[in-house]
Structure 1
């Protein structure tokens, strides 16, 4: 299959190589349709140079890079724990305060994280056929 890169004025036959590696470890070539989807529909992709991670959001990339560097800028003021994302610190602080801000509407269960509430809802209160 022919692969193209859109030039300033026309399509060319030179391949598009998306930064990073594909899951198989080889460079990723994309078709014009895939390129359009990646660049125009999804927005600019931020690609990790150390692994195959790609994201549209700059903040997600900054948090991801902390995995490689070990940098954890969000420090708990109540214990030595530190986190790469502010949302993780906020969730951690709930363990100190006992706050459980995410409540189930079907029962009296409450949770420190929204993802735990979502899991609870899908497993405890899912509609059964």
Structure 2
């Protein structure tokens, strides 16, 4: 659902478990470039491309555990991410490759030639939480069937 009064989607909020706030700061803040917001000894906010994500210290809950098949890939069931422009996606893929990021699913085009064709990549944060970054050449196909 979009906020038609302002013509843009409202930001989402997501809280997720991590084993270390220092590692979360290094990953989300330093590597992904997400500015830090409020924090406490048990959690830290990040601006994830205009959305509020919150890393909560909870070592026993962190990480993904299951996958489902999607267009030939074993996609982590529990994951979150963002949809970027193709230019932003390409730049981030290059940055992550340059930093030696180990991908769960290498950057590639999924559903090639089909409705919903998209660029996608999956990687894990230091706590094992799966993150997906995707992009569409045609953003209108984001919800296309």
* TM-score normalised by length of structure 1: 0.22
More helix by share: 1
Higher relative contact order (CA 8 A, sep 6+): 2
* TM-score normalised by length of structure 2: 0.21
More strand by share: 2
